[in-house]
């Protein structure tokens, strides 16, 4: 196995995770809605905009009234940074969680891969 591939396999095998303390809510808004300033006070937030919607993930304590929401999500963070060349991380994580019947929502960050799962399934 070439050195680069072997080092990536070694890094994949040594993935470490942490579960953030907060409980999170996934919000779905109209793509033209404004982002509330207090969203940025969350220890972790993810904001994604498409032509169809504005999606915000943030601490459940932050109320976004006009949104459709999914509550009680936990955030699992892979400790990084992870090299951009590393592939298969999401497949490995999602396969394990799917086997346990746990749904996921993935939110990438440059320094670490972030994923969320239903809080009532965190053990």
pLDDT in tens, 86-119: 778 788 888 888 888 888 888 766 444 445 555 5
Alpha carbon distance 98, 105 (integer Å): 12
What is the chain's percent helix, strand, coil content, to nearest 5?
25, 35, 40
Domains with residue ranges and CATH for the chain: 3-118 (3.30.2130.10)
* Residue 49, φ and ψ in degrees, nearest 5: -125, 130
Residue with tokens 């346990």: 100
* C-beta separation of 109 from 47 below 8 A: no
The structure's pTM equals: 0.72
Two structure tokens written together for 107? 């939110």
pLDDT tens column, 10-50: 555 667 888 889 999 999 999 999 999 999 999 999 999 99
* C-beta separation of 24 from 116 below 8 A: yes
């Amino acid at each position: 196995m070439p050195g680069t591939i072997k080092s990536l396999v070694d890094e994949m095998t040594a993935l470490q995770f942490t579960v953030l303390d907060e409980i999170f809510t996934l919000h779905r808004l109209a793509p033209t809605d404004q982002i509330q300033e207090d969203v940025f006070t969350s220890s972790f937030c993810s904001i994604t905009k498409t032509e169809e919607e504005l999606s915000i993930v943030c601490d459940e304590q932050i109320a976004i009234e006009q949104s459709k929401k999914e509550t009680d999500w936990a955030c699992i963070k892979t400790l990084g940074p992870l090299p951009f060349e590393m592939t298969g991380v999401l497949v490995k994580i999602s396969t394990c969680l799917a086997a346990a019947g746990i749904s996921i929502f993935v939110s990438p960050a440059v320094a670490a891969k972030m994923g969320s799962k239903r809080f009532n399934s965190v053990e």
